[in-house]
Structure 1
Amino acid sequence: MAALSNSLIFLCFLLLPGVLAFAGPHGESYPCPYDCPPQKETHLHMYLHQFPAWANVTNPNEVAWQGWVADHWLLTKGPDPNNNIVGRARGFHLLTGETSKDWYISHIYVFQDNRFAGSTIQVLGMLDGEWSIIGGTQAFYNARGYIKYKEIPSTVSSITDIVRELDVHIFTPDASTAVNGVAVSI
């Protein structure tokens, strides 16, 4: 347990400054003290499907190992996990306390649909209904933002599938003001 505590403390010290530097307590960005480029918001509505690594789940999309769980969760356009897959949530979650909400998550959402294929966002947080976006690539280069979510009933089985309806707000430098791929202030 001491090794787990030391790992968790190290992880918090490593990631916390980045989270605090870019997002407020409700996902809002702090004002930029410099001449910052204009921001563009991308709003996505999608569903996250977790098939837990439980004995009764025949098709888990995660692997548990000593308190850590490696994830490869599905992202879809609708609540059915078998249709309209738009990407994957790859990363891990770690039990950090005593309740079912005391899970810390760290994911990279890798998009595979035509609109954002190959783009990613970095997502961090606890299982409390809201996560932070602290980075991204390609269409979401230098992303910041937040995800609000709620658990909804599964279309497959409430025993084998945990479904979260995601309300995603991604803020990136406005590409319409870019010069040679670099955002500039106007």
Structure 2
Amino acid sequence: MRSPSRVLPIILVLYFILSMASPSLSCVIPCESEINLRLYLHQIAAGSGTNQVAIVASSQPAGFGTTAVNDWTVIDGSNPGTATIVARTKGMHVQADVGGPGWFNYFSMVFEDARRRGSSFEVMGMNRAQEGEMAIIGGTGEFAMARGTIKYRALANPPPGQSIKELNIHAFYVKPAGTISGPTIQ
């Protein structure tokens, strides 16, 4: 019978040999991948193509309590006229800052492009108009169990009744079963 002090090194050597042969054994916890994306959120509050609607109006100062539903487009460039829709943010935003403006957003960013169709990021956080950061608190499909941040900044001179925000997305997620964790996706 071998002593316990000799068995442990043998087990560790076998584990490392097996982990080199099978990528699925190389991660103690499910392997995470990382993604960095620069996309643009296009809000249209009024006029043709409106993609948000106030469903609860408020008479409070700064519109505190106003609630709106949104289906904002997420595009691959800053010019809505030439960019391609990559995803849509389906959710709601509530004016939740008594001093205003400060909108609390919660939405699913559902991808529509061929590569990620149906996958989503679940997002929530404060939108303070010009720049800020929101949390990615989950995801589905390719982005299962996502966590990360979306830093945003409003672009200058959008068309009247519209807003365009540059989104810098940085997230970690668990690759779906049957895939191998790879390098960062740009």
Task: State the TM-score, normalizing by the size of structure 2.
Answer: 0.69
Q: Percent identity?
A: 33
Aligned partner of 1:164 in structure 2 is 165
Aligned partner of 1:70 in structure 2 is 69
How many equivalent pairs are there?
141
Q: Does 2:45 align with 1:45? A: no
Aligned equivalents of 2:75 and 2:123: distance in 1? 17
In the TM superposition, residue 100 of structure 1 has moved relative to its aligned partner by 3.9
In the TM superposition, residue 87 of structure 1 has moved relative to its aligned partner by 1.0
Q: Secondary structure at the match of 1:46?
A: strand
Aligned equivalents of 1:174 and 1:59: distance in 2? 35
- 1:92-113 CA deviation, whole Å, 9 max, x = no partner? 0001123443210001001011
- Which residue of the other structure, out of 118, 127, 139, is the alignment partner of 1:136? 139
Aligned partner of 2:19 in structure 1 is none
Structure 2 residues not aligned, in runs of 5+: 1-27, 57-65, 182-186
Given the superposition, is the C-alpha separation of residues 113 and 154 from structure 1 closer, same or farther in structure 2, using an over 3 Å criterion?
Answer: farther
Q: What amino acid maps onto 2:120 in structure 1?
A: T
Aligned partner of 2:151 in structure 1 is 148
Aligned equivalents of 1:174 and 1:61: distance in 2? 32
* Contact 2:90-2:108 within 8 A present in 1 as well: yes
Given the superposition, is the C-alpha separation of residues 142 and 98 from structure 1 closer, same or farther in structure 2, using an over 3 Å criterion?
Answer: same
**Correspondence list, 1:165-184, <5 A:** 165-174=166-175, 178=177
The alignment's C-alpha RMSD in Å is 2.1
Aligned partner of 2:48 in structure 1 is 58
- 1:43-80 CA deviation, whole Å, 9 max, x = no partner? 1110000111x4xx333101111121000001000012
* Contact 1:119-1:136 within 8 A present in 2 as well: yes
Structure 1 residues not aligned, in runs of 5+: 1-34
* Contact 1:78-1:84 within 8 A present in 2 as well: yes
Q: Secondary structure at the match of 1:139?
A: helix
Larger Rg, first or second structure (1 or 2): 2
Q: Secondary structure at the match of 1:43?
A: strand
Aligned partner of 2:22 in structure 1 is none
In the TM superposition, residue 174 of structure 1 has moved relative to its aligned partner by 4.6
Aligned equivalents of 1:143 and 1:100: distance in 2? 30
Aligned partner of 1:81 in structure 2 is 80
* Contact 1:125-1:131 within 8 A present in 2 as well: yes
**Correspondence list, 1:14-53, <5 A:** 36-52=29-45
Q: Secondary structure at the match of 1:153?
A: coil
